[in-house]
Chain A
């Protein structure tokens, strides 16, 4: 894992020679590149991630029922393969007779919104501070890194709970809390990468050539750390989804009528012995989503960062 960063490790695959002319050749070369990028991708995982994204983005068009519509006639109806279940409510209905599948689809929306925005904010803050710490160095570096250490020392869930208690439980606040509790890891990662990139010849050359500092950081340092950031962000999507669900499960995340997988699980808990599907289905939704994101992240790591390859 902690192998010395070597020059060869960060070389990109040799690009096919630039075609002389003609739009056809250009399309072909993009196709070749795309194929080589996707080569060996975990197909099933990709399909699952895609299904999650489609469910989240197109929820109103896909969901078979209104997720809030209660119908006591079908309350606690089991999934269709269990006796008494019907295909109209394929994954069963909850204690108020709301369609579980539709609620899962809308729950995906919340998971995606929270995790995506949280990571974009956390990542941006972390990248800026990490670049600053790593490139400027000295007292500023020490100061930023001690703050990073402080955030990393705080118990994750406790810190999130504390901030939620302080700020409130709206979706925006949950996103902010997730960003506050996650930025430090990006800062540490970026700083570490910058420290090793900054010693390389091309950065020294740019400096000698008299390029301004911000330009060196932006044009030469940042592009060399993006791969690591993409890997961490992919793996973090899953982490944040679980964290959001945990907060909701504790009753300290988003509040009804908002639909969250964690909230569904918490609601279904009292019916666990009579209607297992109320807790098992949202749990499986979280598990499969996070699992595919993690497999995707591992695959990206192998592709983009051979130094960290576990094989």
Chain B
């Protein structure tokens, strides 16, 4: 058990180091930052001075180690545009994005779990066919388009909900439906297939023969055993949500991380882009680590 945890932790650390390498190379691919930071009339001497100050005259490995060292102390550079620490800027917008992602996830799970389970029980019924269609359709819909169409119908035509911004719960509904749509479809599909697989197990057949009520069999025994792949998948979906939020936020003018990133890209504010990618990637790694550790605690048989 302890060995497994240590191994899993080490793996996460190594992966995290590679993430920093990718993010570091992202910055180095962008060319000379002095062209962006300094005004066009700056002399070559100014540029050389600035490059030395930024440490750009040193070798790449050296630069990387400095970057890593600073990152570990929480220093991801200063936003070119706002003259504020990039990390602070990203962290200040993170709550809005997490709120949106959490609401979308909640919505997806509330919708997807019941229909996935029902579809598996009533296999071949209209509900099952409908669920399968929903699953395929949901995974084929471009998020931003769905957002625009929902906005057109519910905000512009019907006037039931606000079209953009962040405020009370009514502001959250359209963005959360938009962002959660894909995940709902994906989770419904996986729930259905995991439940179907579980229901074919011998122990479920024995329980039926033994005359246990169907409700107990499905909810207590089949669902419990089908839960592990479903929960793993939800953790994965959370990453999808964090990433998809960039687009959804843009559609609904939701003041989260996505807005900062798109603005940062348009103004070539690289420290902010780096910080945003790094923070979300670490969040995702931590969630996955937590889920894996949770399993090894729940189910002692699990060893990788």
A155→B29 contact, CB < 8 A: no
Cβ-based interface call for A269 (8 A): yes
The minimal Cβ–Cβ distance linking A142 to chain B, given in whole angstroms, is 8
Binds A, one of B67-75, B207-215, B236-244: B236-244
Chain B residues with CB below 8 A from A283, complex form: 142, 145, 148-149
The minimal Cβ–Cβ distance linking B33 to chain A, given in whole angstroms, is 11
The minimal Cβ–Cβ distance linking B259 to chain A, given in whole angstroms, is 11
B152→A155 contact, CB < 8 A: no
Binds B, one of A26-34, A112-120, A244-252: A244-252
The minimal Cβ–Cβ distance linking A138 to chain B, given in whole angstroms, is 15
A163→B261 contact, CB < 8 A: no
Q: Which B1-52 residues sit within 8 Å CB-CB of chain A? A: 11, 14-16, 18-19, 21-23, 26-27, 29-30
User: Contact size class for A?
Assistant: 35 or more
The minimal Cβ–Cβ distance linking B111 to chain A, given in whole angstroms, is 19
A155→B243 contact, CB < 8 A: yes
A158→B152 contact, CB < 8 A: no
Binds A, one of B56-64, B102-110, B190-198: B190-198
Chain B residues with CB below 8 A from A87, complex form: none
Cβ-based interface call for B115 (8 A): no
Chain A residues with CB below 8 A from B291, complex form: none
Interface positions of B (Cβ within 8 A of A): 11, 14-16, 18-19, 21-23, 26-27, 29-30, 136-137, 139-145, 148-149, 151-152, 156, 189-190, 192-194, 196-197, 229, 239-240, 242-244, 246-247, 250, 261-262, 265-266, 268, 270, 273-274, 276-277, 280-281, 284-285, 288
Binds B, one of A51-59, A78-86, A146-154, A209-217: A146-154
Q: Which A172-219 residues sit within 8 Å CB-CB of chain B? A: none
Cβ-based interface call for A272 (8 A): yes
User: Given contacts A283-B142, A310-B193, is CB(A158)–CB(B277) below 8 Å?
Assistant: yes
Cβ-based interface call for A286 (8 A): yes
The minimal Cβ–Cβ distance linking B11 to chain A, given in whole angstroms, is 7
The minimal Cβ–Cβ distance linking A36 to chain B, given in whole angstroms, is 25
Chain B residues with CB below 8 A from A295, complex form: 136
Binds B, one of A65-73, A226-234, A273-281: A273-281
A269→B148 contact, CB < 8 A: yes
B140→A294 contact, CB < 8 A: yes
A286→B277 contact, CB < 8 A: no
Residue in A closest to B193 when the chains form the complex, CB atoms:
A310
Residue in B closest to A265 when the chains form the complex, CB atoms:
B145
- Which one of B140, B190, B280 has the greatest number of beta carbons of chain A within 10 Å? B140
A158→B243 contact, CB < 8 A: yes
Query: Bound state CA distance, A166 and B264, in angstroms?
Result: 12
User: Given contacts A246-B142, A249-B144, A279-B148, is CB(A165)–CB(B18) below 8 Å?
Assistant: no
B280→A161 contact, CB < 8 A: no
B140→A165 contact, CB < 8 A: no
A272→B152 contact, CB < 8 A: yes
The minimal Cβ–Cβ distance linking B193 to chain A, given in whole angstroms, is 4
Residue in B closest to A272 when the chains form the complex, CB atoms:
B152
The minimal Cβ–Cβ distance linking B161 to chain A, given in whole angstroms, is 15
Cβ-based interface call for A238 (8 A): yes
Query: Bound state CA distance, A283 and B266, in angstroms?
Result: 24
Chain B residues with CB below 8 A from A166, complex form: 26-27, 29-30
Residue in A closest to B148 when the chains form the complex, CB atoms:
A279
Q: Which 10 A-B pairs have the closest CB atoms?
A: A150-B18, A283-B145, A155-B243, A166-B29, A291-B140, A290-B140, A149-B15, A165-B265, A155-B280, A310-B193
Cβ-based interface call for A136 (8 A): no
Chain B residues with CB below 8 A from A1, complex form: 190, 193-194, 197, 229
A163's partner among B18, B26, B142, B276 (CB-CB below 8 A) is B26
Cβ-based interface call for A3 (8 A): yes
What 15 additional pairs, Cβ within 8 angstroms, besides A156-B240, A249-B250, A272-B148? A149-B18, A150-B19, A155-B243, A155-B246, A156-B243, A157-B243, A161-B265, A238-B140, A242-B142, A269-B148, A272-B156, A280-B149, A283-B148, A286-B142, A287-B142
